[in-house]
Structure 1
Amino acid sequence: MGPFADLDTVNVRPYLTVRINLTECCAMGNLHCSFCGKSDQEIAKLAAGPGGLHICDECVEVCQLVMNGTDAPPKAFDPTNWPTERLINALGALDATAESYKEHLARAVDALRERDVSWAKIAEPLGISRQSAWERFN
């Protein structure tokens, strides 16, 4: 059954695609886990999520601990604890992740605008003014 046999698949986003040996299956370049920063060369499996985000099998295990009420080891997610080479290699991926979040946010705002949601309503949860929201996303 594999290491994720007890994973609650009912609550996992249906569009999340688990990929085994991503670098062998797809010529997508060097991908990184969006949570711990490890490259696809350092881990066994990588799951692709929305907006270009990825999570590795090790972070999924940490998520399972959290979902089961066990404390997760925060040290693994603190970049100050990563080796220098991983930090250097992760810079591009971290930047791409930030850009991916921006693009995902922009698509969400576009969808809201298509539904005639006002700029004021969009601006409120972002903590910005209506004018700032319009300037940022229009």
Structure 2
Amino acid sequence: MRRTLHCSFCGKSEAEIEKLAAGPGGVHICNECVAVCDVIMRTDSVGPSCAFDPGTWPQERLIALLGPLNATAVTHREHLQRVVDALRSQEVSWSAIGQALGVSGQMAWERFG
């Protein structure tokens, strides 16, 4: 059975919006959030819209979003592992990878090695 997709930014399901675009690592964005981003990019506004604040979302949306968010997190971890593997195949040191991740080379190796 196909799982329902949700916008990674506002949490709305694909049934609640007009269009949903997929990005890398399991991230999705709906046409409504793209419109908000367009306004932010065209103005001096730097703060996110309250539409992006889960504290303002109904409980049903939050519950429905838990599964898709977890799936996105898993996909991100897998994507991160593939990026680290690609760097290691190019002989990039664990120290350099750790530094980019804000951890020691040892910690990076323990996590991804």
TM-based fold match above 0.5: yes
Once residues 39 and 81 of structure 2 are traced to their aligned partners in structure 1, the CA distance between those partners, rounded to angstroms, is 32
- Residue 131 of structure 1 pairs with residue 98 of structure 2: no
Match of 1:65 among 30, 35, 39: 39
Two-structure CA RMSD over aligned residues (Å): 1.5
- Residue 73 of structure 1 deviates from its aligned partner by 5.0
Q: Any unmatched runs of 5+ in structure 1?
A: 1-26
Aligned residues: 112
Indicate if the aligned counterparts of 2:6 and 2:65 stay in contact, CA closer than 8 A.
Answer: yes
Match of 1:46 among 17, 20, 28: 20
Matches within 5 A, 1:1-138: 28-71=2-45, 74-138=49-113
Indicate if the aligned counterparts of 2:9 and 2:33 stay in contact, CA closer than 8 A.
Answer: yes
- TM-score norm. by structure 2 comes to 0.91
* DSSP-derived class of the 1:55 partner: strand
Once residues 45 and 109 of structure 1 are traced to their aligned partners in structure 2, the CA distance between those partners, rounded to angstroms, is 32
* DSSP-derived class of the 1:120 partner: helix
Once residues 40 and 113 of structure 1 are traced to their aligned partners in structure 2, the CA distance between those partners, rounded to angstroms, is 37
Deviates more, 1:34-43 or 1:66-75: 66-75
Once residues 2 and 27 of structure 2 are traced to their aligned partners in structure 1, the CA distance between those partners, rounded to angstroms, is 13
Deviates more, 1:101-110 or 1:112-121: 101-110
- Where has structure 1 moved over 3 Å in runs of 4 or more? none
Once residues 47 and 54 of structure 1 are traced to their aligned partners in structure 2, the CA distance between those partners, rounded to angstroms, is 5
